[in-house]
Amino acid sequence: MRLGRGLIMQIGNKKTALKDNAALYNHVSDKMTDREKLKSLKGRKRWIQFRDYYLLKIVAVLAVLAFVVSLLFTIFKKRPESVFFAAISDYPNQEAVEKLKEEFDAYISLDPETQATTFDNSFYFKTNEFDAIQKFTVYMYVGEISVAVMPESVFTQRAQTGLFKPMSEVLSTELYLKYNDRFAMTGILDDAGNMIENSEKAYGIFLNDCGYFKDSDPSDPMVVAVCGSWQNNKICADFIEFLFK
């Protein structure tokens, strides 16, 4: 009976010693830094500790760094300069427009690294699409659009508000005389809707026999006009000459 009690006491002492050792280990472990804990572990336990405490943090930091680098690269990357913008109205033949851009880029020896042209045929004025009209107005106001290519009926409405330059300001004397029989003539209206005296000039050129716009409505032929807010007349003259080459 005494032997049994002694054995129980020995076992109890061992359990207490194990608890004390575990408590001591935990106390020491609590004082260790995460890096010291990682160094103290071996094999699979070290990998688990690394995965649980470091891996996700490292991935998150790398993701943030990648985002910042990408953002800075986008902000400071030198973008090609826009040298020409053609706003094309009510002409849905995308294939013809893409061919026009490709061949004009080659014609002016465009350097795609530093220069860019835009041929945008998303403008639909005949159906009075609000977004197209608003977009065209804003782009015109900020001087983004070089030329407008549009049906005669659409051209006349906008030319009479003074949006386009007279061809005499754009073309050389030689080219002006060359295209004299193609001119689209109109005048400028005042606020009351009356034609201003002596305002009738050549504000556009008809593109009746221009192959790029062969699918246009013959009863409302396409006209090319140079936008008044655009500064580089030469590239517009080059574009007109290119259309009839």
Whether the pLDDT of residue 22 is over 50: the answer is no
What pLDDT does residue 7 have?
A: 47
What pLDDT does residue 214 have?
A: 86
245 pLDDT tier (thresholds 50, 70, 90): confident
> Are the beta carbons of 204 and 225 closer than 8 angstroms?
yes
> Are the beta carbons of 237 and 175 closer than 8 angstroms?
yes
Instruction: Give 54's contacts (C-beta < 8 A, 6+ positions apart).
Output: 34, 38
Query: H helices of 32-151, where?
Result: 34-40, 43-50, 56-76, 94-107, 130-141
pTM score, two decimals?
0.68
Rounded distance between C-alpha atoms, residue 205 and residue 117, angstroms:
21
Please state, for a pLDDT cut of 70, what percent of the chain lies above it: 73
Least confident of 28-32, 92-96, 210-214, 223-227: 28-32
Domains of the chain by start residue, with CATH: 2-76 (no CATH), 81-243 (3.40.190.10)
The string of pLDDT tens digits covering residues 116-156 is 999 999 999 988 778 888 899 899 888 999 999 999 999 99
DSSP three-state, residue 199: coil
What pLDDT does residue 62 have?
A: 74
What pLDDT does residue 61 have?
A: 77
Please state, for a pLDDT cut of 90, what percent of the chain lies above it: 56
Q: How far is the first Cα of the chain from the last one, in angstroms, to the nearest whole number?
A: 121
What's the residue count for the chain? 245
> Are the beta carbons of 153 and 220 closer than 8 angstroms?
yes
Whether the pLDDT of residue 57 is over 80: the answer is no
Residue keyed to tokens 């009351």? 192
Rounded distance between C-alpha atoms, residue 202 and residue 165, angstroms:
9
